[in-house]
A = this chain, B = another copy of it.
């Protein structure tokens, strides 16, 4: 899951820069833990990878009045591009966690863009639900998983609930 990467990019993007502990704190303050688990280690790891990949630039370690020195990171242009790319992908995803993170950061994109992405997401989601329903009523093939029908129902139900939620968000954005 490179959701962590998106989350870190998104938080750094808010102010253009941040140090690791600030990101970590923000992840804690927001109840990010409700929608996706992000451990401190993952955050620092992501920061390092992003810095290595030129998405963030590590500034010189600065002194802190309240504790050890800390490293501040600044978002680069490439970093912003990756943020947008990942954010758009998240807003088109069927994965509930990705979708949640996408919506959390959606204000970083133009409204029209978000609307288009969500329209697309909904269309594909509905097609997917239809496909799963079709599978559901098919005569069971050989060698299927036990309780395949139930499992399909689980996915259909959740996809459906998610789609209704997306619909709500989309409606609020107003007509395209």
Contact = CB atoms under 8 A, between A and B. Distances in A.
Interface of A: 29-32, 34-35, 96, 99-100, 103-107, 132, 143-148, 150-155, 157-158, 160-162, 164-165, 168-169
A87 B148 CA distance: 17
Given A146-B104, A146-B105, A35 B151 contact: yes
Nearest to A145: B30
Contacts of A169: 150
5 contacts: A30-B145, A103-B154, A104-B151, A105-B146, A157-B161
Nearest to A14: B146
A105 to B, nearest CB: 7
Contacts of A105: 146
B34 A152 contact: yes
Counting chain B CB atoms within 10 Å of each CB, the highest count among A96, A153, A154, A161 belongs to: A154
Given A34-B151, A35-B155, A157-B165, 20 more contacts: A29-B144, A30-B143, A30-B144, A30-B148, A31-B145, A31-B148, A34-B132, A34-B152, A35-B151, A100-B154, A103-B147, A103-B150, A104-B145, A107-B146, A153-B168, A154-B165, A157-B161, A157-B162, A158-B161, A161-B161
